[in-house]
Amino acid sequence: MEQRISKSQFKPKALAYFRLVQETGKELIITDRGKPVVKIIPYTEDPDKELNLLRGTLVKYDNPTDPVGVEDWETLP
Per-residue pLDDT tens over the stretch 33-53: 999 999 999 988 877 777 777
CB 71 within 8 A of CB 59: no
Specify the DSSP class assigned to residue 4: E
Please tell me the predicted confidence (pLDDT) of residue 77. 57
CB 20 within 8 A of CB 40: no
Q: Which class would CATH give 3-66?
A: alpha beta
Please tell me the predicted confidence (pLDDT) of residue 17. 97
Phi and psi for 27 in degrees, rounded to 5? -75, 150
Please tell me the predicted confidence (pLDDT) of residue 12. 97
Distance (Å, whole) CA 26 – CA 3: 8
Phi and psi for 18 in degrees, rounded to 5? -60, -45
Please tell me the predicted confidence (pLDDT) of residue 20. 95
The segments of the chain whose pLDDT lies below 70 read 74-77
